[in-house]
Structure 1
Amino acid sequence: MTDLKGQFFWYELMTSDPQAALAFYGEVVGWSAQAFGGERTEQPYHVISGNAGPMGGIMAIPAEAKDCGMEPWWGGYIGSADVDADAKRLADAGAKVQRAPDDIPGVGRFAVMADPGGATFLLLKGASPEGMDAPSPMTMGHVCWHELYSGDFEADLAFYTSRFGWGKGEVMDMGEMGSYQLFSMSGGTDFNSMSGGMMKKPPVMPEPLWLFYFAVKDIDEAMSKVKAGGGTVLNGPMEVPGGAWIIQATDPQGAMFALAGKRAG
């Protein structure tokens, strides 16, 4: 099994309408879904799967989070061997503990963190001793790219590379938008090992955040399904190195996500 400590490996949508979100992403991305603990649960957690198996979940925004103003949002979990120790270690390095370590019965122990620039991520140590295999690049329905819109670019870059051991790749010049720093969660520095990129948060973004790209077969077909399903395409399609095309969008409930895929012909 792949060692996922220090790497994003589970992705979760908290939304105002889980059933609508399941239908939307099922059509756009092609996920299958299964209720964790059974459909009769008052607020079921639906595990979503791509071609290589489970990769995340969809759930209703918890009442306490909704009362604090949480809007629909995609979050990513980073693997941890010791959530309590990591939360303290990361807080000492400039992160903020947004929710103290706690247990999810039958799932594991987690914590909600914010990096030095303010973008939220989560830590998770699973209750099961069995790990997960990371899917191959561009496996349909899985996250193929991770993008940070940073609130403090230099501090965040130093934070993730020093505290998680991420490797720095090429720096791409984005013109007026500044630099786009490629990174590898595995610690590599060559282009083929890259896992994502980070850049300074553009003024149009309301807050720093992590954006996750889901792999689809045909970007134009997927874009049409986004629009037909009530989502909004914010940017793209745009070609990126490696021959893929991307779009950035919001789902009907307002959560931001992105897609990557080929173009027919």
Structure 2
Amino acid sequence: MPFSPRSFFWYELMTSDMKAAEAFYSGVVGWRAEPWAKPGSPPYTIVNAGDRGVGGIMDMPEEYCQSGGQPAWFGYIRADDADAAAEGVKKAGGTVHRPPTDIPGVGRFSIVADPQGVTFMLLQPDGPDQPPVPAATPGHIGWHELYTTDWQKAFDFYSSQFGWTKGETMDMGEMGVYQLFAAGGEPVGGMMNKPEQIPAPFWQFYFNVTAIDKAAERVKANGGQVLMGPMEVPGGAWIVQCLDPQGAAFALSAPKR
């Protein structure tokens, strides 16, 4: 049955120090932190770009820590039917780490992984979709990058489950192929086989800022690390790849240096 392509629409940081992470990203990206509480739920902070929520921050759950989990960002892909989407992931060779579960007042979610072992979430929200924002809007997520062990098979998986289509294929020499992908419009990300120095496959998310050099300085001034960049990428944007003070990987993108 034909369906509308689906991509990431919410982002969540699991961290070892929620309050410190709130302060770091507020200082670096300019997010406004807002506590969110539901009876019986662990503490959670929504981060806002202007008056619109773009993601959340929470302390790492005990079971996540016991499984060896480290501070990391995760993305939520919208599902029209969380149960059917989770079953589709399983049939396509992925893993369902947590079966679909209701979050009162939010929606129905599931924790899954693609066939290469990269974890992401599915969410069937209770409310309607929010209107899209321009791709380079400060504080929003401007790019999604998958480092994996087999990008061709990874693309086939996401294409079959969420309707993603191929964009430009870029030859990066010794680093291999970088495959752009779209979800019903312009490209929203890329995927490639991970370099040896990256220990495990993962999704990396790029947060939009207005000027890359100033943002890189804010990362360092607030206790984070700049691992790579500033670097200009095709299309004229500038990026840096970073670690926050708790060790979670993230990246920043800006239209100018």
In the alignment, the residues of structure 2 paired with residue 46 and residue 111 of structure 1 have an alpha-carbon distance, to the nearest angstrom, of 20
User: Residue 81 in 1 paired to residue 80 in 2?
Assistant: yes
- What aligned pairs does 1:76-225 form with structure 2 within 5 A after superposition? 76-128=75-127, 130-186=128-184, 188=185, 193-225=186-218
Q: How many residues align?
A: 255
SS at 1:217 equivalent? coil
In the alignment, the residues of structure 2 paired with residue 61 and residue 136 of structure 1 have an alpha-carbon distance, to the nearest angstrom, of 32
Question: Contact 1:239–1:245 at 8 Å: present in 2 too?
Answer: yes
SS at 1:98 equivalent? strand
Q: Which residue of 1 is the match for residue 48 of structure 2? A: 49
Give per-residue Cα distances to partners, 1:234-257, cap 9 Å, x unaligned: 111110122210000000000000
Give per-residue Cα distances to partners, 1:65-114, cap 9 Å, x unaligned: 11222110100000001111111112111111111111122211111111
SS at 1:6 equivalent? coil
In the alignment, the residues of structure 2 paired with residue 260 and residue 63 of structure 1 have an alpha-carbon distance, to the nearest angstrom, of 33
User: Structure 1 unaligned runs (5+)?
Assistant: none
User: Residue 71 in 1 paired to residue 64 in 2?
Assistant: no
SS at 1:220 equivalent? helix
Q: Which residue of 2 is the match for residue 28 of structure 1? A: 28
User: Structure 2 unaligned runs (5+)?
Assistant: none
In the alignment, the residues of structure 2 paired with residue 196 and residue 241 of structure 1 have an alpha-carbon distance, to the nearest angstrom, of 13
- Give the TM-score, by structure 1 length: 0.92
In the alignment, the residues of structure 1 paired with residue 120 and residue 64 of structure 2 have an alpha-carbon distance, to the nearest angstrom, of 15
Q: Give the C-alpha shift of residue 24 in structure 1.
A: 0.5
Q: Give the C-alpha shift of residue 43 in structure 1.
A: 4.0
SS at 2:209 equivalent? strand
Question: Contact 1:73–1:256 at 8 Å: present in 2 too?
Answer: yes
Question: Contact 2:5–2:163 at 8 Å: present in 1 too?
Answer: no
In the alignment, the residues of structure 2 paired with residue 226 and residue 41 of structure 1 have an alpha-carbon distance, to the nearest angstrom, of 34
SS at 1:225 equivalent? helix
Question: Contact 2:4–2:163 at 8 Å: present in 1 too?
Answer: no
Question: Contact 1:12–1:75 at 8 Å: present in 2 too?
Answer: yes
